[in-house]
Structure 1
Amino acid sequence: MELKALSVEGFINETGSSSPAPGGGSIAALNGAAGAALIEMVASLTIGKEKYAAVEAEMKEIQSKAHEMKAQFLAYIDEDSAAFNKIMAAFKLPKDTEEDKKARSAAIQEATKGAALVPFKIGELANALLPLAATVIEKGNQNAITDGAVATMNARTSVHGAFLNVKINLGSIKDEAFVADLNAKMEAIENSVDEKEQALLNKVNL
């Protein structure tokens, strides 16, 4: 079942079911997709307006970037669930012999790395939405400025939500260099994402 092809109601109901996937990682990707879609919308509502002719080229570029990022986030909804399912499959491998146990342990480690990398990519991509949100808030159609603000909030939520899913997987990974690398990269993003969000929301003076 392709999650991204479900109706909104179908996806939400599937999330609420007893199945552990889709879970927080897929929802973080959904937040990112919603943020990208709102940025794309504000850019689209700016293009073709005489009042905003000076920023038309810039808005067309943002519209295109946001459209591509939206597609990436939608793909990550399914990738995150697939990565979780690979861990579950690895745990079901035989463990009758020492060789079986070693192979099973290696498969679990490899699958867990994959399950950490997917939400890391989601968070990284969500962080990259913020400069686009900044531009549509500052220069885009001011009638849609609150849509830019909601995009910003979705991007920030996507970052934190995705990284929580990275961290829970890192706790099971024995490769210390891998863990340290992702932790350092996440820390650099998390240290600034809340501040970026607040700075953008402060520009929406209602």
Structure 2
Amino acid sequence: MLRELTVNDFTSVLAEGKATPGGGAAAALSASLAAALTSMVFNLTIDKKAAKDCPESVVDSMKEAREATDRFRERYLELMVDDASSFDELMAGFGLPKNTDEEKAVRKEKIDKAKERVLEVPLMLAEEAFEMYDSLRVATEYGNKNAISDAGVAAILIHGAIEGAALNVFINLAGSEVNEENIGLKVKTDELVEKSRTIKEDILSIVIDKIYGRQ
């Protein structure tokens, strides 16, 4: 199973001349790494010297955010697998026979369903990766300052995941019918990427200020 591979094996498989895993799976892995880094910041803060002066309400917020990041980490790995498997299903659909009208109808149905899934998965990744920012903001605001750079790396990775997922949405829309629904998806995805870029830059500004003692 894809998520059970070692880092070395995963990168080797990714480098092969095969359609899957590809950029969508890599984007999902990036999101999972961002969640893991954010959890690490919390684990270096909660119940540690770094949190001794934090009000109980802040500690509770960090604990809730840590629980969320742990869920996100697992969820993004699920989407990594889903991204690869959905594209495999699409390729399998294209490989079905088309010698008779019945075969053509079955093939078309399989391809149409697979195309929906191939578009749906990266869209879910973009939207669900964006949800990580709430927890990441908590880590950036209250996390151990010695690990603040890790929060910054998480921001870069989560934005990269969103941009990567968006590219997969776009390439699938490019091969689809131009209609109001698909145009709306394109606009929605563009807006999500821009919102993510703004938040990422805000977080990085805070991180840089804390690194140089300006906060």
Measured against the shorter chain, the TM-score band is over 0.9
Query: CA–CA distance in 2 between the matches of 1:107 and 1:170?
Result: 18
- 1:115, distance to aligned residue in structure 2 (A): 0.6
Match of 1:118 among 117, 121, 128: 121
Question: How far 1:106 sits from its partner (Å)?
Answer: 2.9
Q: 1:133 corresponds to which letter in structure 2?
A: L
* Partners of 2:47 and 2:99 in 1: CA distance: 67
Give SS of 1:51's match: coil
Query: Which 10-residue stretch deviates more, 125-134 or 183-192?
Result: 183-192
Alignment of 1:137-152 (within 5 A): 137-152=140-155
What is the TM-score of this pair, normalised by structure 1? 0.93
Q: Report the equivalent of 1:7.
A: 6
> Between the two proteins, what is the percent identity of the paired residues?
31
Structure 1 distance, partners of 2:84, 2:186, is: 22
**Which stretches in structure 1 are left out of the alignment for 5+ residues?**
none
Measure the CA separation in 1 of the matches of 2:54 and 2:151. 16
Q: How do 1:183-202 and structure 2 match up within 5 A? A: 183-202=186-205
Name the aligned partner's letter for residue 15 of structure 1.
L
Structure 1 residue ranges (4+ consecutive) displaced by more than 4 angstroms after TM superposition: none
Structure 1 position 178, deviation (Å): 4.2
Q: What is the RMSD of the two structures over their aligned residues, measured on CA atoms?
A: 1.5
Residue 183 of structure 1: how far off its partner (Å): 1.8
TM-score (structure 2 length as normaliser): 0.90
Q: 5 Å matches for 1:35-184?
A: 35-49=34-48, 50-54=52-56, 55-174=58-177, 176-184=179-187
State how far apart, in whole Å, the 1-side matches of 2:176 and 2:107 are. 14
Distance in 2, Cα, partners of 1:12 & 1:88: 22
Secondary structure of the residue that 1:105 maps to in structure 2?
Answer: helix
* Alignment check: 8 A CA contact 1:87 1:108 kept: yes
Distance 1:15 1:56 in 2: 40
Does 2:28 match 1:26?
no
Query: Take 2:87 and 2:62, find their aligned partners in 1: how far apart are those partners?
Result: 37
Distance 1:77 1:185 in 2: 22
CA distance in 2, matches of 1:172, 1:3: 27
Asked if 2 retains the 8 angstrom alpha-carbon contact of 1:109 and 1:174, the reply is: no
Distance 1:105 1:160 in 2: 30
Unaligned runs of 5+ in 2: none
CA contact 2:66–2:135 (8 Å) conserved in 1? no
Say which is worse superposed, 171-180 or 13-22, in terms of deviation.
171-180
CA contact 1:46–1:56 (8 Å) conserved in 2 = no
What's the CA shift for 1:170? 1.6
Residues 178 and 105 from structure 1, CA distance in 2 versus in 1: closer, same or farther, beyond 3 angstroms?
A: farther
CA contact (8 A) 1:127 1:155 kept: yes
Contact 1:156 1:194 in 2 (8 A): yes
Q: CA deviation at 1:177?
A: 4.7
User: 1:75 offset after TM fit, Å?
Assistant: 0.9
Report the alpha carbon displacement of residue 95 of structure 1 after superposing the two structures with TM: 0.9
